[in-house]
């Protein structure tokens, strides 16, 4: 029996992935921080975007980078580890492709979040 070719259902992300899934860090309190593979990928993407002209990651991009459909939960858990003020969320008024009002969300690292990362030894492995 022939195998059917698989088809990718999501667009590949333009954001490179860290080589390793498990990343450790120290929080401002000095506690050891363990990130899940999803959290590590999202934090890496947020860090890469922070220095670009458009630092925001849309919720759909977070889902793709995390390789899951629960991007807001991944960001919520990252906030719990980095601090509530480390990641900004913005809800934007928009019109979808059907002409209906929509409110997509987007995320970015704040200056405080970037400073915390700079003080820590966090690096994507």
Q: What are phi and psi of 122, to 5 degrees?
A: -70, 130
**pLDDT value at residue 15:** 55
Q: What pLDDT digit, counting tens, does each position of 81-94 carry?
A: 899 999 999 999 99
- Confidence check: pLDDT of 25 > 50: no
**pLDDT value at residue 78:** 93
**pLDDT value at residue 43:** 93
**pLDDT confidence band for 12 (50 / 70 / 90):** very low
CATH 1.10.10.10 fits 23-119, yes or no: yes
Q: How far apart are CA 55 and CA 20, in angstroms?
A: 24
Q: What is the dihedral of CA 60, 83, 114, 69, to 10 degrees?
A: -10
- Structure tokens given for 5: 């070719």
- Confidence check: pLDDT of 17 > 80: no
- Structure tokens given for 100: 């209906």
Q: What pLDDT digit, counting tens, does each position of 27-84 carry?
A: 445 545 678 899 999 999 999 999 888 899 999 999 999 999 999 999 999 999 899 9
């Amino acid at each position: 029996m022939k195998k059917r070719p698989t088809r990718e259902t999501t667009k590949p992300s333009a954001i490179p992935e860290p080589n390793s899934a498990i990343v450790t860090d120290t929080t401002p309190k000095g506690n050891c921080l363990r990130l899940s593979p999803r959290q590590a990928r999202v934090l890496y993407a947020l860090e890469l975007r922070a220095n670009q002209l458009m630092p925001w990651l849309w919720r759909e991009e977070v889902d793709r980078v995390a390789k899951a459909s629960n991007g807001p939960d991944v960001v919520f858990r990252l906030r719990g580890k980095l601090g509530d003020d480390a990641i900004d969320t913005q809800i934007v008024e928009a019109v979808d492709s059907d002409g209906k009002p929509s409110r997509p969300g987007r995320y970015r690292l704040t200056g405080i979040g970037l400073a915390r990362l700079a003080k820590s030894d966090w690096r994507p492995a």
